[in-house]
Structure 1
Amino acid sequence: MTMILPSHIPVSRDTLQQRVAVRLRELLVQGNFEPGSKLNERELCEQLGVSRTPLREAIRLLVAEGLVVLDPGRGAFTPSWSKDDISDTFDLLGVLEGLAGELAAQRITAAELAELTALQHEMQAAYERRDLPTYYQLNARAHDLLSVAARNPVLRETWKQVNGRMHALRFRSNQDEAKWTKALDEHAQILAAMKARDGATARQLLEQHLRRKRDAVLKLYPVEPTR
């Protein structure tokens, strides 16, 4: 499957560091950096069209999200996960998303359900175009919407922290055609459970969904990553 990413992502010079963080987050999530690789500030400044000050402020924001790690004296790096780290984190994420789905099935509003339905149609369209970056953005919004619809602030904040660590790996898990097809079908089943207000099924589907992503990601790590 061929995926074309833009080589230059412009950022207006009058934007705040949050806007720079959005662009850098896209690069990180879309797999432009290998695990454990150093972020070259000069190259990123040129690519994003910004000075080092907003870039460094954006990097600090992404450190808080778990997308970047700082090594004193060496600089900023992408996280380097062990297979145990990946497995343990996805296992926890599956529990959190399963609980969110169960609660959301009972608490989701009509407007949120309509939005989730629209996202499913847009994901289908992105899949048919083989537009993986757009698909992932829509996919992430769908999962985020479920965490909101659960109406449990503690669950949502915990989910955001854990999910932030797995952003880039979740994106890569769909780069296999068969797995991407399966993931889209699973989302359709989750949507059906939401419409039926079937919390038990929603929980089961989401837990299975995350286990499959875990297994797909682990296959990308035949050896332990090192830096």
Structure 2
Amino acid sequence: MDVTSEDRGTLAKVVPVSRRTLHDDLVGQIRDLIVEGELAPETRIHEGQLGQALGVSRTPLREALKFLASEGLIELVPGRGAVVRRLTPRDVRDMMDVLAALETTAARLACRRATEAEIGALRRLHDEMMGFYASRQRLEYYKRNQAIHAAIAALSGNAFLAATHEGIQSRLRRIRFVGNEEPGRWAGAVAEHEEMIAALEARDADRLVEVIARHLDATWDRVQDVL
């Protein structure tokens, strides 16, 4: 039977989307378990038990674990399988230093290159994050928080910078999440984000660079006690 161009279009839309959705859902659920500490550092992931809990077979589960290994959240250890990665203080400090260099560079570029529509979209994401802060939904707040940092990197217009930033940020997910467990520290991070969005809206590059540098210095202060 001949396949028409309309049929090919339908197949292109339907099949890949369902596969990506399963993969993304699995990665997201396992990532949340790691970020929230349900799967603690150095925990060996039992594929059978986790697959049963998530209602999936081992094949998609293993693909999800491989992806999380590429993010740096787990390690695939010969003879042990997948193990949740534990970062050392030196690992985190080194990554935070590079992250600061990337984000301050991105800040200057974003102030020059971002459109008003892009800045408006970031403001809406910030306001959504603040709503989750008000209701003390830490995980949802955290996801928006990280999306804001990624968005500033993307607004630089430098794809290599944004990709490098994402690679580092993914490895720090759990550490940065637990850094806001103490209410006073969480409030401090929120105040810094308020300053960041105001500086970006004003396209005040010097101010945005200063706030981001201060924010990431404070982030190190917040997380080093939990390493």
The answer for the alignment partner of 2:43 in structure 1 is: 37
| Aligned counterpart, 1:78 | 84
Deviation at 1:177, TM superposition (A): 0.5
Partner of 2:192: 186
| CA deviation string 1:151-201 (max 9, x = no partner) | 011111111111111111111111111111111110110001101111121
- Equivalent residue in structure 2 for 1:135, among 131, 134, 141: 141
Give the aligned residue type for 1:61: F
Pair 1:105-2:111 in alignment? yes
Give the corresponding residue for 1:49: 55
Is contact 2:34–2:40 with CA below 8 Å preserved after alignment?
no
Task: State the 1:50 CA deviation.
Answer: 0.9
Q: How does 1:122-161 map to 2 (within 5 A)?
A: 122-161=128-167
Q: Which residue of 1 aligns with 2:14?
A: none
Distance across 2 between alignment mates of 1:15 and 1:198: 39
Contact kept, 8 Å, 1:13 with 1:49, in 2: the verdict is no
Letter in 1 for 2:91: D
Larger Rg: 2
1:219 aligned counterpart, secondary structure: helix
Deviation at 1:26, TM superposition (A): 1.9
The alpha-carbon deviation at position 19 of structure 1 amounts to 2.6
Query: Aligned pair in 2 of structure 1 residues 94, 14: CA closer, same or farther (>3 Å)?
Result: closer
Structure-2 residue corresponding to 1:62? 68
Counterpart residue type for residue 32 of structure 2: E
Distance, in Å, in 2 between the alignment partners of 1:101 and 1:127 is 24
TM-score relative to the length of structure 1: 0.87
**Offset of residue 31 of structure 1:** 2.5
RMSD of equivalent CA atoms: 1.7
CA distance in 1: counterparts of 2:181 and 2:108, whole angstroms: 28
Distance 1:84 1:14 in 2: 35
Structure 2 unaligned segments of length 5 or more: list them: 1-17
Preserved contact between residue 37 and residue 78 of structure 1 (Cα < 8 Å): yes
Q: Deviations over 1:59-96 (max 9, x none)?
A: 01111111111111111111111111111111111111
Q: Which sits farther off after the overlay, 162-171 or 186-195? A: 162-171
Equivalent position SS for 1:43? helix
Identity %: 36
Instruction: Check 1:190–1:14 CA distance in 2 against 1; reply closer, same or farther (3 A cut).
Output: closer
Asked which structure has the greater RCO (Cα within 8 Å, sep 6+), the reply is 1
1:18 deviates by 3.2
Which residue does 1:225 correspond to in 2?
none
Q: Is the 8 A contact 1:104 1:146 kept in 2?
A: yes
- Between the aligned partners of 1:134 and 1:81, the Cα distance in structure 2 is 23
Structure 2: how far apart are the matches of 1:214 and 1:14? 35
Partners of 2:121 and 2:222 lie apart in 1 by 28
Aligned to 2:178: 172
1:112–1:145: 8 Å Cα contact kept in structure 2?
no
TM-score (norm 2): 0.87
What's 2:202 paired with? 196
